[in-house]
Structure 1
Amino acid sequence: MMPGDTNMTSSLMTEVRAADLKLVPRRADDGSPGVLTYHSASPPVTYMHICETDHFSMGVFLLKSGASIPLHDHPGMHGILKVMYGKVRISCFDRLERADGSPQAVPPLPPAQLGAMRRSVLRCAGEYTEESGPCVLTPDRDNLHQIDAVDGPTAFMDILAPPYDPDEGRDCHYYKVLTDSDVNNTEPKEKEVWLMEISQPPDFWCGGEPYPGPEVCL
């Protein structure tokens, strides 16, 4: 996806609303998938698959109230996220080359874990609603991010180009912040941090349900 393509797609997504996709906002006390019920076995996050080609994937994520998509990356990929209903907080990080600036002191870790560390910077953390413009990521900017549902259930449309493909080196990796950083700060804030690559957090998993909206013609 070229910058011009990203700008055009982002502009088009600005106009999309939940009703266009036949999405009905979930209530916090709704037992349907995508709504917080910690006493049930339903997943904290649900994905509605819309379509996928060799060039892009499109779908909708539904987060229960209080749920999060943990800090993760999109290697070599462009992405556009547009909230359909509710509110999300998105915290964006970029990887830094060790040659840039003065490296931070390395946190005390066992030698086996040092290879999983990534020097990064917290670029921004902000809140998005259906009235907000899309959040755009590139292979080099805001590529790592964490998404948190705020004040109730939420849903957002997600486009990735190209889509995840482990065989092509585009696999999802998860991270945790090792150095102090307030990722819930809603003001833009650049701060260098150490991230460590981890396995998928055990309290996060993603279920699926049918997409109720119009078919996409490719």
Structure 2
Amino acid sequence: MPVQVGGSKVAEPRARLELSPTAVSDKGRASSKKIRRRRQKAPAAPSQSPMQRLFDTSREVFLASSPGFVPPPDAVARLSGILNDLKPHDVGVDSSMPYFKHADSKGPPRVTYLHFYDCPKFSFGIFCLPKSAIIPLHNHPGMTVFSKILFGSMHLKSYDWAKSPPESHDTAIEHSDGARLAKVNTDSVFDASSETVVLYPENGGNLHCFTALTPCAVLDVMGPPYNRADGRDCAYYDESPYLTGGDEQYSWLKEVSTTFEMKGIQMPRKFSVSA
């Protein structure tokens, strides 16, 4: 430190520091450690957005997708886990949007489909239902579908085609008028706390209908998508009761023409994904 001499500050002479070869070597190692520490503290790469993570996982799960494809259980669990963690703000929706309002009191509430992505292997998007809106009973030919409610609550009823009539019933499983026997898979209310529902080409509730009890949003990932040219268009059905006298529930389902239409909207670029 400086010393006082006659009112002036004079710096002390600096002592000469002799470094031994060992000290020089230690200094070099210390510098090397600092460099390594600096490298280790380099900024981390930005994390993926939830939608990008959903896209990447869906692409992996449906890589071998074709009509009738069923992902292996570990892949189903992985994609379901990502969907279970999604929140409305991750995908840019909330109940204040006009898609969830019943604007025309003269007709039934209109369903809007927010389209995110589709390719021959899979597609995903969000169904926006105002209160009391209905997506009629329909099928998913040769498809595996993951459905997650993001907010709101809805009644879900689903069926699978019966392979045989119930025990003690000798009726055929098809009518001459084209109606087919189907077994009820699900008849319950679901909300945002419910885990992802998965349906498969032959089971899990391949035919289903939604009835919105409140404004609600449902994200669907499906593979492969509908393909009219490939003979896998969406079909709609009317249901009529089939009395069994047992605990299991069945209905006759008959394909019908319908005027049901959804409004399709492409999601904004900020929620787009990189293929």
TM-score under structure 2 length normalisation? 0.66
- Equivalent residue for 1:215? 272
Distance 2:103 2:179 in 1: 34
Written as runs of structure 1 = structure 2, the 5 A alignment for 1:88-167 is 88-98=154-164, 101=167, 102-104=169-171, 114-141=176-203, 142-150=205-213, 152-167=214-229
Alignment of 1:206 onto 2:243: no
Give the secondary-structure state (helix, strand or coil) at the position aligned to 1:24: coil
Give the CA deviation at 1:14. Answer: 0.5
Structure 2: runs of 5 or more not aligned: 1-69
Does 2:71 align with 1:2? Answer: yes
Give 1:209 shift: 2.5
CA contact (8 A) 2:149 2:191 kept: yes
Aligned length: 199
Distance 1:104 1:38 in 2: 45
Gaps of 5+ in 1: 108-112, 182-188
Instruction: Tell me what 1:70 maps to.
Output: 136
Structure 2 distance, partners of 1:87, 1:118, is 30
**Structural mapping, 1:21-40, within 5 Å:** 21-26=91-96, 32-39=98-105
Cα displacement (A) at 1:35: 1.9
SS at the partner of 1:37? coil
* C-alpha distance in structure 2 between counterparts of 1:2 and 1:210, whole Å: 27
> What is the match of residue 197 of structure 1?
255
Percent identity, please: 28
Q: 1:44 to 1:190 in 2, by over 3 A?
A: farther
Q: What CA deviation, in whole Å up to 9, does each residue of 1:154-189 have, x standing for no partner?
A: 1110111111012222211100111268xxxxxxx7
Tell me by how many angstroms 1:135 deviates.
1.0
Question: 1:173 — aligned with what?
Answer: 235
Distance in 1 between the 2:152 and 2:136 partners? 18
Residue identity in the other structure for 1:191: Q
Partner of 1:185: none
User: Could you say what secondary structure the match of 1:178 adopts?
Assistant: strand
**Deviations 1:116-153, CA, capped at 9 Å, x for gaps:** 21111112212211121011100111100011101x21
Alpha carbon RMSD of aligned pairs, Å?
2.5
Query: Which structure has the highest strand share of the two?
Result: 1
**Could you say which structure has the greater relative contact order, defined with CA pairs below 8 angstroms and 6 or more residues apart?**
1
8 Å Cα contact 2:173/2:180 also seen in 1? no
Instruction: Note closer, same or farther for the CA distance 1:106–1:170 as it changes in structure 2 (3 Å cut).
Output: closer
Compared CA separation, residues 206 and 156, structure 1 to 2 (3 A) = same
Contact 1:123 1:190 in 2 (8 A): no
Change in 2 beyond 3 A, CA 1:55/1:103: farther
* Higher helix proportion: 2
Contact 1:33–1:43, Cα closer than 8 Å, also in 2: no
CA distance in 2, matches of 1:7, 1:47: 25
**Residues 67 and 167 of structure 1, relative CA distance in 2, 3 Å threshold:** same
Could you tell me whether the CA contact under 8 Å between 2:179 and 2:252 is conserved in 1? yes
Q: CA separation of 1:12/1:39 partners in 2, compared to 1, >3 Å: closer, same or farther? A: same
User: Which one-letter code corresponds to 1:75 in the other structure?
Assistant: P
Give, as a single letter, the amino acid of the residue that structure 2 aligns with 1:139. Answer: P
Which has the larger Rg?
2
Normalising by structure 1, we get a TM-score of 0.81
Cα drift, residue 40 of structure 1: 6.1
